[in-house]
Amino acid sequence: MNNEIQFSERMEGVRPSAIRDLLKLGDDPGLISFGGGYPDPSLFPIQELNQIYSSLLVPERSDVLQYTSSNGLPGLRAKVAHRLTRDGMSCTENDILIIQGAQQGLDISAKLVVNRGDTIVTENPTFLGALIAFAPTQPNYAPVRTDEFGMDTDQLAEVLATNPNVVMIYTIPEFQNPTGVTMNLERRKHLIELANKYNVLVVEDSAYRELRYVGEQLPTIKSLDTEGRVIHLGSFSKILAPSMRLGWALANPEILDKLSLLKLASDTQNSTLNMNATLEYLRRHDIDEHIAKIRPNYLRKLNLMLSTMRETFPDEVSFTEPEGGLFTWLTCPVGFDATNFMKETLLPQGKVAYVPGATFFPVVQEPNHARVNFSGVEDDRIVEGISRLGKLLKQTL
């Protein structure tokens, strides 16, 4: 063995992440893991999908196993366009690209505009999967302070005024991953105004948008976009099932055409079968009714988690109170190391896991946070796991 293959420069930033190890941890049934970003599998419409796959997999429909258009089934794109139009983003099927989950939208959006050394603005902290997707384009980051109202657009204005290399603003306006916070309307307007002023692309990741449990839905940033500079990304993963690997990108024609070329280059197309099955699901069933059934379940889990935190956590630990999505975000006193605590105390003594927060910071890692998921954990395990976490935090702090 004498392998000396020289890897490309872009591989410098492509390194193993905590997500991979944590997905593995989640497989241990003895562990109560708040580490994933999983929907509750008991809420999947599995019987409806069974009937749909059965009716599609018949000799007259052999087209469902064949290649199809790289942009995605026209019927499915039309259904997505209809839903987005209803949500304030007027569009047709020609404005929609079907992608392999919103994650693929991150990969191709970065490829579209980022040259090595260009700057991407993100919330601070931000979605780890986005940092992983962007890494091969070798960006720099300008993370912007993020509070309970989302990205601080006054700080964004300063960043844009002083950094001419910003080519993309990446934001998760609703129930952000990892913090759970939602950007208010004023900041959404300010953000698009700034993007227009400095001629920057905006990537709006709305993967959790339809999982709002309390409060009023706010307009998407795309709906405020008068210059066609927002790529709006969404996903069926949280409202139908992750296994479909289906998401969508909405963008203006010039951008969408480039994204569709990058999609074609990446993997030719999505699964024809899964696209047909999802289209049939949307034809035969009311997905809004399905989502309306999911929401109270997740709200119950969220409330159970927050009330258990209030009961069992020491006063020094604060946590966000999200209006939707999958996550809450813990902040422990400065000096506390959530990674060490998990390794040395929480896992061995409590058999409980979260995602240490440091990994979500693009530049300066703050060690005193953790991301905690409530959607994928059974109710009694939420109470048990959070209680154990609270007890061990009290012992340690």
Q: Of 50-109, which residues contact its own copies (CB under 8 A)?
A: 50, 53-54, 57-59, 61-70, 100-101, 103-104, 107
1 binds its own copies (CB under 8 A): yes
Contact set for its own copies, span 143-182 (CB under 8 A): 167
- Minimum CB separation of residue 269 from its own copies in Å reads 7
- Minimum CB separation of residue 243 from its own copies in Å reads 4
User: What is the x/- site pattern for its own copies, positions 19-38, by CB under 8 A?
Assistant: xx--xx-----------xxx
* C-alpha span between 16 and 346 (Å, rounded): 23
Contact set for its own copies, span 340-359 (CB under 8 A): none
- Minimum CB separation of residue 74 from its own copies in Å reads 10
39 binds its own copies (CB under 8 A): yes
Residue 98, φ and ψ in degrees, nearest 5? -85, 130
User: What is the x/- site pattern for its own copies, positions 189-218, by CB under 8 A?
Assistant: -------x--x-x-----------------
41 binds its own copies (CB under 8 A): yes
> What secondary structure letter does DSSP report for 343?
I
β-bridge pairing 369-373 and 327-331 = antiparallel
233 binds its own copies (CB under 8 A): no
Whether residue 99 contacts residue 108, with contact meaning beta carbons closer than 8 Å, is answered with yes
| Chosen residue from 217, 242, 287, 345 binding its own copies by CB under 8 A | 242
Cβ contacts of 143 within 8 Å, gap of 6 or more: 121, 122, 123, 124, 125, 126, 361, 362, 363, 364
Cross-strand pairs, 29? none
Contact set for its own copies, span 356-395 (CB under 8 A): none
| Chosen residue from 18, 31, 44, 93 binding its own copies by CB under 8 A | 44
User: What is the x/- site pattern for its own copies, positions 125-144, by CB under 8 A?
Assistant: ----x--xx-xxx-------
* C-alpha span between 125 and 122 (Å, rounded): 8
Stretch that binds its own copies, among 174-182, 212-220, 257-265, 315-323 (CB under 8 A): 257-265
**Cβ atoms within 10 A of the Cβ of 31, count?**
17
CB hemisphere CA count around 263 (13 angstroms): 27
Output Rg (C-alpha) for the chain, integer angstroms.
21
How many residues belong to the chain?
397
